[in-house]
């Protein structure tokens, strides 16, 4: 695996290929579900093993995504500093690295956790790389709606790592993340609309008026909040979860309606402040899953 630069640059480049900041969010939606599945504090070794395996699996998918998108990453301000775009890592090295992480994560999760969790992680990896990156991303404005399903798998992996079987509770949380993804990512795409347009990637904000995009984001936000409350009867949570989820949901809806209102008034560009919605969506999801973890401890 030949790269350019010092050994320290090499290490940083390979770490960058795994997109650590994205993986942080995946871990946030994995570990709390383990608390819910256990009904309390899960086994520490299982938490450590799932975190390591999850990082390796997501890192594999992200590295392979960088390889698939190496041609358009150079066209976008947000991605032009990635290792393949800056020629810090060669395309061949990125593929070998990504595949190696994929094999290692599958074996690690299989032997250290269980094979159901391992197969679910592998399915998420394949879905993200093949279905989203290779098929959907450059062909449809609904790319992130369906392709975003790959980022929902940590909810079921967290559950199966503790129980070794699926249930309705993690599937509800899977759907929460699925519905949350479009307004979250479209807010980012609104900010970098010119980038996606330059790379010929048909993200919805590139092909539809801002008013329509904001309307869609508001609808998905309502669906996200409604689905989050569904966990209360399905998982038989205590009152802490639905009360907290309702408060967080109300704040999330205020942000979505604010953005939609600005779009309806014809506010454009920086004044529309889509990144405010983007950052708050991260806060919303993180705090919602903190509630998922805390509720069984309180009960």
pLDDT in tens, the chain (299 residues): 444 567 787 889 999 999 988 888 888 999 999 999 999 999 999 999 999 999 999 999 999 999 999 999 888 888 888 999 888 899 999 999 999 999 999 999 999 999 999 999 999 999 999 999 999 999 999 999 999 999 999 999 999 999 999 999 999 999 999 999 999 999 999 999 998 998 899 999 999 999 999 999 999 999 999 999 999 999 999 999 999 999 999 999 999 999 999 998 876 655 678 999 999 999 999 999 999 999 999 97
Contact 272, 262 (CB under 8 A): yes
CA dihedral of residues 253, 255, 258, 263 (deg, nearest 10): -100
User: For residue 232, which of 283, 292, 188 has the smallest C-alpha distance?
Assistant: 292
DSSP class of 43? P
Q: According to the 3-state scheme, what is the secondary structure of 68-122?
A: HCHHHHCCCCCCCCCCCCCCCECHHHHHHHHHHHHHHHHHHHHHHCCHHHHHHHH
User: For residue 54, which of 12, 32, 26 has the smallest C-alpha distance?
Assistant: 26
Tell me the β-bridge partners of 89.
3
Distance CA 94, CA 118 (A): 22
Distance CA 164, CA 147 (A): 26
**Cα–Cα distances in Å, from 262 out to 210, 214, 251?**
10, 9, 17
Contact 205, 259 (CB under 8 A): no
pLDDT of residue 105: 98
**CA angle (133, 181, 137) in 5-degree steps:** 20
Label residue 5 left, alpha or beta by phi (over 0 means left) and psi (-120 to 50 means alpha): left
pLDDT of residue 271: 67
CB atoms within 10 A of CB 63: 28
Distance CA 270, CA 195 (A): 15
State CA 194 to chain mean position distance: 22
| Per-position DSSP letters for 172-211, written without gaps between them | HHHHHHHHHHHHHHHHHHHHTHHHHHHTT---HHHHS-HH
pLDDT of residue 2: 47
Contact 75, 199 (CB under 8 A): yes
Distance CA 223, CA 220 (A): 5
User: For residue 37, which of 175, 167, 209 has the smallest C-alpha distance?
Assistant: 167
């Amino acid at each position: 695996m030949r790269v350019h630069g010092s050994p320290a640059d090499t290490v940083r480049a390979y770490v960058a290929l795994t997109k650590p900041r994205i993986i942080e969010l995946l871990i946030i939606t994995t570990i709390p579900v383990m608390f819910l599945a256990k009904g309390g504090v899960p086994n520490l070794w299982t938490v450590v093993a799932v975190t390591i395996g999850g990082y390796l699996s997501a890192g594999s998918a992200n590295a392979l995504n960088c390889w698939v998108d190496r041609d358009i990453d150079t066209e976008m301000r947000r991605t032009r500093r990635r290792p393949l775009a800056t020629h810090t890592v060669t395309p061949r090295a990125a593929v070998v690295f990504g595949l190696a992480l994929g094999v290692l994560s599958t074996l690690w999760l299989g032997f250290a956790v269980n094979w159901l969790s391992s197969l679910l992680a592998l399915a998420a990896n394949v879905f993200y790389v093949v279905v989203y990156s290779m098929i959907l991303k450059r062909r449809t404005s609904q790319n992130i709606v369906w392709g975003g399903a790959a980022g929902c798998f940590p909810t079921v992996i967290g559950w199966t790592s503790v129980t070794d079987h699926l249930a309705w509770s993690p599937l509800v949380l899977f759907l929460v993340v699925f519905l949350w993804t479009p307004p979250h990512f479209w807010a980012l795409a609104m900010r970098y609309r010119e980038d996606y347009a330059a790379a010929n990637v048909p993200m919805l904000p590139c092909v539809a008026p801002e008013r329509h995009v904001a309307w869609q984001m508001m609808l998905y936000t309502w669906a996200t909040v409604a689905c989050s409350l569904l966990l209360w009867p399905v998982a038989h949570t205590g009152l802490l979860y639905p009360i907290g989820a309702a408060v967080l949901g109300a704040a999330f809806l205020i942000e979505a309606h604010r953005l939609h209102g600005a779009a309806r008034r014809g506010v454009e560009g920086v004044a529309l402040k889509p990144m405010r919605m983007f950052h708050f969506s991260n806060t919303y999801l993180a705090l919602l899953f903190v509630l998922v973890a805390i509720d069984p401890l309180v009960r």
